[in-house]
């Protein structure tokens, strides 16, 4: 079953683990430089986050602003559209990003442990379960 092993719970769009990537990815992008939501939406593809509904990004940014990780101001420059809100990362955001990185490291270690356990079991049992 491609994309959904099962019937009851097909993840629409990206998988949940992917979405958990959203906050750290946004923080990293903003650490590279201030940007507005629509741009971030496109840049997120770099981290495998494609086809996200814009509202997801805007909500994430607003939530991060509530937590003090980013700040926003209205863009002065003239654009081909309505005024844009420009986000910048804060010092607290830097800390949060560093925390996320640590957290992701732990997750990676856990995955590595899991994989090792899986492969070892597969070798021993020749792929058969008892």
Partner DNA sequence: TTCATCTATTGACAAATTGCACATAGTGTG
Partner DNA sequence: CACACTATGTGCAATTTGTCAATAGATGAA
CA trace torsion 35, 41, 46, 49 (10° rounding): 140
Q: Does 31 bind its own copies (CB under 8 A)?
A: yes
Contact between 50 and its own copies by CB under 8 A: the answer reads: no
Mention every residue, 6+ apart, whose C-beta is less than 8 A from residue 39. Answer: none
Distance CA 34, CA 87 (A): 6
Alpha helices in 33-90 (DSSP H): 37-43, 54-66
Report, in Å, the least distance between residue 108 CB and its own copies: 5
Residues of span 73-102 touching its own copies by CB under 8 A: 89, 94-97, 99, 101
Q: Which does 73 bind (CB under 5 to 8 A by kind): DNA, its own copies, none?
A: none
SS3 68: coil
> Which has the closest alpha carbon to 61: 75, 46, 72?
72
Residue 81 CB, shortest distance to its own copies, in Å, is 25
- The span of 24-32, 35-43, 50-58, 73-81 binding its own copies (CB under 8 A) equals 24-32
What are the residues binding its own copies (CB under 8 A)?
5-9, 15-18, 20-21, 23-25, 28, 30-33, 46-48, 62-63, 66-67, 89, 94-97, 99, 101, 103-105, 107-108, 110-115, 117-118, 121, 129-130
């Amino acid at each position: 079953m491609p994309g959904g092993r099962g019937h009851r719970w097909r993840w629409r769009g990206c998988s949940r683990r992917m979405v958990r990537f959203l906050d750290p990815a946004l923080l990293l992008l903003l650490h590279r430089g201030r940007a507005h939501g629509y741009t971030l939406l496109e840049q997120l593809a770099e981290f495998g986050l494609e086809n996200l509904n814009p509202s997801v990004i805007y909500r994430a940014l607003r939530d991060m602003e509530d937590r003090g990780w980013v700040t926003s101001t209205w863009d002065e420059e003239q654009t081909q559209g309505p005024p844009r809100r420009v986000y910048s990362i804060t010092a607290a955001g830097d800390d949060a990003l560093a925390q996320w990185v640590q957290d992701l490291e732990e997750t990676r270690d856990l995955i590595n442990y899991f994989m090792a356990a899986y492969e070892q079991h597969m070798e021993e049992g020749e792929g058969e379960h008892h």
